Structure 1
């Protein structure tokens, strides 16, 4: 009986799944930009919203949850570089023995050729590694059905304030 039910559904399944090349072919896009995480000063773009009881005693910040709305720019100087959009989402201090963040953010493009589109990024970010790689797991607009990876490299990190500028290279299939 299960095989008979599957045979009845097969034509529906085949109609519901479009061909991979129906949209005119897949594109590859590389975008280099800078992510500015501002935790200090009168107008921070990264705000801690939760912490575990053990977070204060942790040397890695383990258990802290931070909500972000960080600027994305074309160059590394936040004040003089062309704004491209915002990185909105969260990061969680998920490493107990090393500073490692679980990143969940959307790069929201608000200028240029990708204005109105987004790229969703998720993954592990071992902050003190020279290069960190995270997954691109989706997108909207120009980047609908996106997949790929993002490479992060710290450009500057102020250990007193916690402010950071990170170069991101996005390799996107869409």
Structure 2
């Protein structure tokens, strides 16, 4: 009888404990997030500066950028690809070289949203997968006129270490191949967070 009770108690505990893989993206339980917010009034704001390189690989067998929507070209022609939507999942690296250490991914979408120049509406996350920011994200939403030397987009939020983040992401093109349309862009990100 005691063995049956022990079995039932262990069985109950095993079933009741939520299983999630040990992984950097596993969110904390709601109670810990709630406690974090309760401590927010006494928390100090932090300033973090980041520098990394985004590899926009459009060509090859494994592109990190793929078109998912295009305007009907039989009724509408545009020199700026106006209306085209692309999904991205490209590596973020320490240096501009293709074999440089990966620190995360840029994941999201961009839309060609300008009739006058190649200007993108960027809506994406920097998803950090390595180092002290592993499992944290920064969200960017803004205008990116890709052929301007200097571009600036707002950081509108974040998660993990970067909860309640706000700031600026500046970028410049380091390398661009006009034939394949592959590119490498350097990002400098400055964010305030708690």
Common fold: TM-score over 0.5: yes
8 Å Cα contact 1:54/1:63 also seen in 2: no
The 1-side partners of 2:59 and 2:114 are apart by: 23
The 2-side partners of 1:30 and 1:91 are apart by: 24
Partner of 1:74: 94
1:92 aligned to 2:96? no
Secondary structure (helix, strand or coil) at the match of 1:57 reads coil
1:108 aligned to 2:121? no
The 2-side partners of 1:78 and 1:141 are apart by: 28
Structure 1, gaps ≥5 residues long = 1-16
TM-score by length of 1: 0.86
Superposition deviation, residue 21 in structure 1: 4.2
**Matched ranges for 1:7-18 at <5 A:** none
Superposition deviation, residue 22 in structure 1: 2.2
Superposition deviation, residue 78 in structure 1: 1.9
The 2-side partners of 1:44 and 1:53 are apart by: 23
Partner of 2:191: 172
Partner of 1:122: 141
| Aligned mate of 1:139, from 118, 139, 158 | 158
Superposition deviation, residue 87 in structure 1: 0.4
1:58 aligned to 2:60? no
Structure ID, larger Rg: 2
Structure 2, gaps ≥5 residues long = 1-36
Equivalent pairs counted in the alignment come to 156
Partner of 1:22: 42
1:42-93 CA distance string (max 9 Å, x none): 00000000011149731111110000001000100122x1100100000000
The 1-side partners of 2:170 and 2:41 are apart by: 27
Superposition deviation, residue 19 in structure 1: 8.3
TM-score by length of 2: 0.77
